[in-house]
């Protein structure tokens, strides 16, 4: 089940707000400019679905976002359990960083934890299959995929370079709970 936990940045051991209700998660995140939606595929996807199959299954929602946000590039990233590169890949995202564009992810399968540092709060959003999150450009955040990740996600970009991060230099990401 998806969830939102909100912490004061100075108190990483105790959440001040928690919810597992999608409408409340969306409402709370919208208050700070973050988009959260839940999507349904227009067709059943086989486990061995290709990138094209996945994009086609969600084409209406993807096209809507492309028009609304000016996104130019769409791709699919997938990581299977037992991947020997998982520890290095996990570490790549566990530091606080920003982007010059929105970070838009839709979870086709699996899960991940987005941690957003907004003002004096940290918003931890556990996203799973069916969840879309769009983190606005220049929002400090980090992402945890867990120690043995398994997920498939659609990514939308405003530029053709893909994922480009600017490190904030803060160590805050080390202070908050991770997936495991």
Positions at the binding site for Fe(2+)? 97, 99, 103, 141
Please work out, in degrees rounded to the nearest 5, the angle formed at the alpha carbon of residue 58 by the alpha carbons of 55 and 63. 90
Extract the annotated binding site. 97, 99, 103, 141
Residue 73, CA distances (Å) to 117, 158, 160, 162 in order = 26, 7, 6, 8
Q: How far is it, in rounded angstroms, from Cα 136 to Cα 148? A: 28
Task: Give CA–CA dist 47/49, Å, rounded.
Answer: 6
Gap between the terminal Cα atoms of the chain: 16
Q: Answer whether 11's CB lies under 8 Å from 111's CB.
A: no
45: left (phi over 0), alpha (psi -120 to 50) or beta: beta
Binding-site positions for Ni(2+) = 97, 99, 103, 141
């Amino acid at each position: 089940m998806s969830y939102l936990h909100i912490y004061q940045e100075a108190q990483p051991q105790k959440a001040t707000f928690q919810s597992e209700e999608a409408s409340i998660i969306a409402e709370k995140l919208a208050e700070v400019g973050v988009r959260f939606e839940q999507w349904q595929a227009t067709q059943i996807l086989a486990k061995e679905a290709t990138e094209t199959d996945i994009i086609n299954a969600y084409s209406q929602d993807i096209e809507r976002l492309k028009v609304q946000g000016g996104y130019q590039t769409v791709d699919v990233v997938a990581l299977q359990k037992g991947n020997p590169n998982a520890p290095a890949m996990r570490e790549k995202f566990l530091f606080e960083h920003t982007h010059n564009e929105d970070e838009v992810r839709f979870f086709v399968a699996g899960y991940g934890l987005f941690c957003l540092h907004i003002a004096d709060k940290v918003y931890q959003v556990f996203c799973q299959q069916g969840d879309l999150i769009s983190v606005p450009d220049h929002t400090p955040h980090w992402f945890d995929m867990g120690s043995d990740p398994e997920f498939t996600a659609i990514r939308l970009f405003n530029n053709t370079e893909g994922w480009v991060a600017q490190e904030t230099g803060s160590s805050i990401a080390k202070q908050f709970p991770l997936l495991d």
